[in-house]
Structures are given as C-alpha cells and as structure tokens.
Amino acid sequence: MESGACGRTTGSASRSGNPLLAPQRPNGVDAAGAADLQGRTMTDFVLHSAETAAERAIERHAMLLLTAREAEAFVDAILRPAPPGAVRKAARECRRKMIQR
C-alpha cells in the first residue's frame, strides 16, 4: 500500500475503510465499484447489502412456512371435510329433487 494525502493509505484497505472488507473479490465482484455506483461508502454498501439479504431470507422463510401451512390445511380439508352446512344441505336437497323428476 502507498501513502496518500494526510498520511492515509491507498489501495483496498483505504477504499473499503476496513482491510477485512476487500473491495475486489476473487470472483470478479467489485464491491467498491458497486458502492460508488450507488453513491454509498463501502461500509454503507455492506450494511445495506446485508440488510437486504436478511430481508430476503426472512421473506423466503415466511413463504415456506406459509406454503407448508397451506399444504397442511389443504390435506386436512381433503381428509377431514367439514360437515355440510345449511346452504350445502339445501343445495343437495334441491339437486336430489331435480334428479328425481
């Protein structure tokens, strides 16, 4: 790393503000470039990215739970249907009368 103005270092440590958050990943993702495109500091970019990923994970988990509950309710309704109510009984009786004519 080189020394820049005011004794600050230049390179990955200074661009990210943290040497542990390397802005250029081995897979070619330029996090510092993406942060610059969004007008964010590297720290803000990382925090926002983590927050967005956490929201997506929570949404996916909620959808899986909802899907599992819906599937369970569907199977339960098929295996243990509710007893017929007044409207259903009246419709069955009406149909029975129509068929007997």
User: Quick check: 19 pLDDT over 90?
Assistant: no
Residues whose CB is less than 8 angstroms from the CB of residue 19 and which lie 6 or more positions away in sequence, other chains included: 12, 13
pLDDT band at 13 (very low <50, low <70, confident <90, very high): very low
Task: Output phi, psi for 24, to 5 deg.
Answer: -110, 110
User: Quick check: 101 pLDDT over 60?
Assistant: yes
Q: How far apart are CA 23 and CA 2, in angstroms?
A: 17
Q: What is the mean pLDDT of residues 11-36?
A: 62
Exposed e or buried b for every residue in 56-67, given b needs 16+ CB within 10 A? eeeeeeeeeeee
| Residues 26-84 pLDDT 10s | 666 788 888 888 899 999 999 999 999 999 999 988 888 878 888 889 999 999 998 99
